[in-house]
Structure 1
Amino acid sequence: MSTGSAVASQASQQDEFNPFLAMAERFDVAADHLGLEPGVREVLRAPDRELIVSIPVVMDSGQVRVFKGYRVQHNYLRGPAKGGIRFAPDVHLDEVRALAAWMTWKCSVVNVPFGGAKGGVVVNPRELSMGELERLTRRYTTAIMDILGPDRDVPAPDMNTNEQTMAWIMDTYSMHVRRSTTAIVTGKPLSLGGSLGRTEATGRGVMITCREALRTLGMRPENTRAVVQGSGNVGGIGALLLHREGYKVISISDISGAIVNDKGLDLPAVLTWIREHGTLEKFPEADHIEGTAALELDCDLLVPCATENQITSRNVDDVKAKLIVEGANGPTTAAADKRLEERGVLVVPDILANAGGVTVSYFEWVQDRMGYFWTEEIVNSRLEQAMVSAFNDVDRVRRRYDVSMRIASYIVAIERVAEVYKLRGILG
């Protein structure tokens, strides 16, 4: 291969793994089907606001380190911007942009009156003490305070953040505005205005989506072999709920790798092992393989719940599942998507499949604003209604336009946001 060809190939691969470009490509396809005007496309594709901040933190050693943080508000036409905050060493602006845009479409596809946002800090949280994490979180919150608020931008947990992180953000914001403001974040502890059912919401939404997708394929849970990538709130809870519904979950994974049992894993035992040991390593009654190898196992249902860019042009031809339900954000690249569609594999996209989390986040925000809290049964019932309704909306559009579930999801979401934009107009 010539030097020029090698450079071109490398650039092509970089484009494939750029999540914002992947989002934009799918946006354009959906916009073509809708006949969206060029000006409206330009408005809806671009983020409304991007904030990059420096976060000085006094470490336990007394040394000061400066971390980089982001908050991107993609769109707030339909309501306050909504989206998680992740702490990871590989966070970058294009990733946060893409995740913010996906949040806009995700809220719209389940008809939740929020726009999309996302935040991130470039840090490996495993290298920080609890005190350092708290100081980092509070300083980051202070740095982005000007664009936060229950009516402006409502953060939530994401990769490597949790309800404790949200408690720190809520407390920091509340101290600055001189009043306790529970609706500033979702995914909080119950004692601070959190919602019952929120922790399980994304995994439960994935389970509901799997069930609805199986029905469209004429498949039944008890005859379905499932592989779940990930074992946290999405993968672990999703796998457990699938197990309870009768699916044979043959593999689950974490950062250490994947475990496989062709006869089906005992999911309660697996999750107990993770709680006690912090990892799947050395779990008995299963074979251990590399985490990415699990994507290529012989199965009916594949549920990637880890991170972006897991199914790519490099491994898509080795993926054997008939149905893929995306529990993670952006696990399938656009190039891999095309190959799966050509093979007739049904892919239920992230902006539909993992929208259970933001749906119950909306419920939490509503409860905080009302000062009245619902039972877990009510939360789960309303989540079920929202997810089934969204799936049916998307499936009708899929059949109408003869497109993939992903493009149908984008069509549903973009049409709703575009309608609001046209009704509101531009202030002259």
Structure 2
Amino acid sequence: MPEEQDPYEIAQKQLKNALDILDYPDKENVWETLKEPERILEVSLPTHMDDGSIKHFKGFRCQHNTALGPAKGGVRYHWNVTRNEVKSLAMWMTWKNSLAQIPYGGGKGGIIVNPKELSEKEKERLSRNFFREIALIVGVNKDIPAPDVYTDPQTMAWFFDEYAKVKGYPEYGVVTAKPPLIGGSQGRTEATGFGTAVAAREACKKEGIDVKNATVSVQGYGNVAWWAAKFLHDWGAKIVSASDSKGAIYVKNGFDPVELHKWKEEKSANHTVTDWEGEINEKFDPEERAPLFLDVDVVVPAALENQITGKNAHKVKGKIIVEGANGPVTPEADQIIRDKGILDVPDILANAGGVTCSYLEWVQNRMRYYWKKERVMNELEANMVRAFNETYKVYKERDIDMRKAAYVLAVDRVVEAMRLRGKL
């Protein structure tokens, strides 16, 4: 099969695997109900450019399932966004929110665009245009977007303001990961990476690895990757590798993630990690996906989907994989990884820190009372540890891999909610 598998095929296959284990009497009916989203909105976005021309973009907002609560999930700006990708990401959000036991269903959105080619004003016009078009199906009790790939708190501020224009008044909980000055929560910026680091730490504990002496390889160096690297480094782990879209580095004695991050922030977007002025032992082309195949204790794929596949999983040498990205390991790779004795902490668990903190922001928005950062991070950590331990227990009891264990827990909660509401 092709290496770059359709993410929606992957999402459906993972659901089917969980249903085969749960084996409900009405399994086929459950499958037919959950395999497709409740709704998906496709919008056309003619947008004025700085030179006076108009460019046409396409956007999507998908709501997979809302049995547990309003839809929740990010909006990404990327040239490879597709309808099926958005559907798969929305489905994954359903399971992620269920596993984290936060009262949300799954949603996701995206615009087909290369944001690097837009000016700041063009991005603002496109963002406002998009949110105005999806305003009918979003809302504090309906669907709450958040940032994703190439979107950030500034994007959320534009969304928030545009929705206020549509409604005639501000609804602070309509989006999360806003700047703190306009209702954002303390800790949201680092939340996803922190959650990934907590998942890695807990996995090390279960596998008898001292995180203080653990070697860690990180694929990617965006928000999730660098924060995960920072927290693991703070806890004593040695970060030996990082990458971006233009290359990867290996540093045998480890490096300080903060130093690399500062350097990348100071340089232009044209600079890659391989240009870093710090000590580097080896450099790699991005196609090699080198950070995934180094001999380390923990591998953190925190870039894009379809990175560890049936064709390359045999090259993984790490003892633990912690999926910071969405869908970085394909179903064909799962069995190979399990046969190699590698513990793979799945994406719906490992990167749930962001949406958990978004939930805490939403709660604060509803109360109009805001917590100190310490409380937010403590609540986030406790929830991540609980979700990890629940998943690990099912993994051991059922003798299945961690992904199947996470899906069994998450899907069963959604199905139970649908039965209680008379939807099944």
The two structures have a TM-score, normalised by structure 1, of 0.95
Match of 1:290 in 2: 285
The one-character-per-residue Cα deviations of 1:96-119 (angstroms, maximum 9, x if unpaired) are 011000000000001010000000
Aligned partner of 1:13 among 2, 7, 17: 2
Match of 1:3 in 2: none
What is the root-mean-square deviation of aligned Cα atoms in Å?
Answer: 1.2
Code of the residue aligned with 2:18 in structure 1: it is A
The one-character-per-residue Cα deviations of 1:358-400 (angstroms, maximum 9, x if unpaired) are 0000000000000000110000100111001101111111122
Task: Tell whether the 8 Å contact from 2:230 to 2:256 is kept in structure 1 after alignment.
Answer: no
Match of 2:155 in 1: 165
Moved more, 415-424 or 256-265: 256-265
Aligned partner of 2:134 among 100, 125, 144: 144
SS at match of 1:87: strand
Match of 1:32 in 2: 20
The one-character-per-residue Cα deviations of 1:314-353 (angstroms, maximum 9, x if unpaired) are 2211111111000000001111112111111110000000
- 2:403 is equivalent to residue 406 of structure 1: yes
SS at match of 2:276: coil
**Match runs of 1:305-344 below 5 Å:** 305-344=302-341
Aligned partner of 1:50 among 40, 59, 67: 40
Task: Tell whether the 8 Å contact from 2:291 to 2:299 is kept in structure 1 after alignment.
Answer: no
CA distance in 2, matches of 1:426, 1:208: 36
Code of the residue aligned with 1:326 in structure 2: it is E
Match of 1:4 in 2: none
CA distance in 2, matches of 1:397, 1:354: 19
Match of 2:196 in 1: 206
Aligned partner of 2:66 among 73, 76, 88: 76
Q: How many residues of Structure 1 are paired with residues of Structure 2 in the alignment?
A: 415
Match of 2:369 in 1: 372
Aligned partner of 2:91 among 84, 101, 104: 101
CA distance in 1, matches of 2:292, 2:397: 31
1:44 is displaced (CA, Å) by 1.9
1:294 is displaced (CA, Å) by 2.1
The one-character-per-residue Cα deviations of 1:61-112 (angstroms, maximum 9, x if unpaired) are 1111110111110011111100000000110011101100000000000101
Moved more, 286-295 or 135-144: 286-295
CA distance in 2, matches of 1:338, 1:23: 16
CA distance in 1, matches of 2:392, 2:296: 23
SS at match of 1:98: helix
CA distance in 2, matches of 1:426, 1:89: 36
Match of 1:41 in 2: 31
CA distance in 2, matches of 1:404, 1:345: 10
Code of the residue aligned with 1:13 in structure 2: it is P
Moved more, 416-425 or 30-39: 30-39
**Match runs of 1:251-262 below 5 Å:** 251-262=241-252
Moved more, 31-40 or 356-365: 31-40
Moved more, 215-224 or 128-137: 215-224
Match of 2:262 in 1: 272
Unaligned runs of 5+ in 2: none
1:290 is displaced (CA, Å) by 2.1
Match of 1:110 in 2: 100
The one-character-per-residue Cα deviations of 1:236-269 (angstroms, maximum 9, x if unpaired) are 1110111111111100111221121101112221
Code of the residue aligned with 2:239 in structure 1: it is V
- 2:374 is equivalent to residue 386 of structure 1: no
The two structures have a TM-score, normalised by structure 2, of 0.96
SS at match of 1:50: strand
CA distance in 1, matches of 2:159, 2:261: 29
Unaligned runs of 5+ in 1: 1-11
SS at match of 1:151: coil
CA distance in 2, matches of 1:58, 1:273: 34
Code of the residue aligned with 1:190 in structure 2: it is P
SS at match of 1:13: coil
- 2:217 is equivalent to residue 217 of structure 1: no
SS at match of 2:2: helix
**Match runs of 1:232-247 below 5 Å:** 232-247=222-237
Match of 2:10 in 1: 22
CA distance in 2, matches of 1:243, 1:45: 40
Code of the residue aligned with 1:282 in structure 2: it is D
Code of the residue aligned with 1:230 in structure 2: it is G
Match of 2:176 in 1: 186
Match of 1:9 in 2: none
The one-character-per-residue Cα deviations of 1:128-182 (angstroms, maximum 9, x if unpaired) are 1111111101111111111010000000000000000000000000111000111
1:27 is displaced (CA, Å) by 0.9
CA distance in 2, matches of 1:328, 1:345: 18
Identity %: 46
Match of 1:359 in 2: 356
1:41 is displaced (CA, Å) by 2.1
Task: Tell whether the 8 Å contact from 2:364 to 2:371 is kept in structure 1 after alignment.
Answer: yes
Match of 1:195 in 2: 185
